[in-house]
Structure 1
Amino acid sequence: MTAVTAPEERDNPYALSHLDALESEGVHIFREVAGEFERPVILFSGGKDSIVMLHLALKAFAPAPVPFALLHVDTGHNFPEVIEYRDRVVAQHGLRLHVASVQEFIDSGQLKERPDGTRNPLQTVPLLHAIESQRFDAVFGGGRRDEEKARAKERVFSLRDEFGGWDPRRQRPELWQLYNGRHAPGEHVRVFPLSNWTELDVWQYIAREKIELPAIYYAHERTVFSRSGMWLAPGDWGGPVRDEQVEQRKVRYRTVGDMSCTGAVESDADSIEKVIAEIAASRLTERGATRADDKLSEAAMEDRKREGYF
């Protein structure tokens, strides 16, 4: 697919392309955090946004290794293909990986299994425990403003209080890409290098950089069942139940999270060019179309963010 050239790029041959400008901003953010904080960590789930984020980090510090560890909050209900990809990437680049296990918190009685089987809302406690116990003072996340209206309120540097909570009223101005990482003991900062990217930007960058993704992002035959208008994957998390019928469908995933709340979309997009064309024509955001945890209420994401979620 041929990229459209903006008028200013045609008039000025030295101007950065749209993707180059986004990449430059992301690299700058990683280097800024390296200079301001003592113990940053990158949240890495094996989803496309965290993969692009890691790619930017590798570019930011090459040829030196990435100076940050990775952190994955493992719900125990992850897609096997994504976990396999995560472990392979960690080994390939010699990275350090911390895993915060939701299952361990359930087994110890610190968390209780939900009746609907979804564990996505249970990630906050293990996440905050890992941040506190490992003394992480900056935590990179792959959130983008186009995903959801609560995320659209975030700054690139998002201050969190000593309980991990987010208060929109405490956000700081970020004029001219100047970021204020000052925080009190016990507080930390969430950092979003992809804030200004869109889903289409992410996919066009993946195509340009030839970044490998887990295969579930492309159309494939899969066993699924329908619930609340979404195609979910059966599994130990509790689906299907009652009259829910399992069937084979050609689907792909636009976003990847807990199997119990991440829906697939019917699609024939089995190549990156077809995915880009499909996204360009879509009028639904990826989370709005495929994430059941965001359908609980109009303020579901914002409520979780105030408690410490991303």
Structure 2
Amino acid sequence: MRPPPTRPRPTSPKRPLRISGDVRLRLDIAYDGTDFAGWAVQAGQRTVAGVLDEALTTIFRTPVRLRAAGRTDAGVHATAQVAHADVPSDALPRAYSRSPRPGDAEFVPLIRRLARFLPEDVRVINIVRAPKDFDARFSALRRHYRYRLSTAPYGVEPQLARYVTPWSRDLDVAAMTAASRELLGLRDFAAFCRHREGATTIRELQRLDWSQDGHLISAHVTADAFCWSMVRSLVGALLAVGEHRRPPEWCAELLTATSRSSDFAAAPARGLTLIGVDYPADDQLAARVLITRDLRTPG
């Protein structure tokens, strides 16, 4: 006898695949750069991004990588660095407290946890959900830096010693101010930038001025973006003017150079701090990214 025909087993309907999208977070960060080898992750080096990435990866239990508005050099500080990170939505609940405090903003518990995970020389000041087109680097309109020096005969007061450069020679602030005015505008700052393959040296320098309060001298520098070592190089050249080793017009003459000038040294890193980053309104973020990504050429 033939065996009875087998009936196909009923199949259950396929479950839709679970898709976990990413949530983009904006982080506002402060750090003392003295003991860091800069912002960017480097193998075998202690860096700001490396420390933060490790802490966030531990908390979210998934790899997290930050992208910053400006990759500060070794020894440079920040009071208002901005970075973004994309976190899988199914990992996001790990940012929340099991016992939320009334009135806390969404990511205050995460900020508190990071304060326990991070070393004392880096702090995450604030975290919010970022608009979908936000990019910490490419959405930025401009960055603001401050460089501080002390010409006091004793150097720098201990409380400021990590953030102010001692300068033993007198400086002519009026001469430095005059030279600074000639550098403003959209220009090729090749003479003031260390070479980076594929990077442009054309920048719009929007502010470069000086103030003095007793022995404390400060430079205020703003541009749409900065190339590698640009702020410290600008300050270094202007210090040569301030010491009367070069005339004020010399700095403007450097703008004709096509590569980093060897006629001056960059100012020491310790006096430099990133103090602000400006962004457009949310509905203008995508357009700003397109403008920023468009590589400039001499026109």
**Which gives a bigger RCO, structure 1 or 2 (Cα 8 Å, sep 6+)?**
2
Verify same fold: TM over 0.5: no
- Bigger radius of gyration: 2
Report TM bin, short chain: under 0.3
TM-score, normalized by length of structure 1?
0.22
Larger % of helix: which?
1
Larger % of strand: which?
2
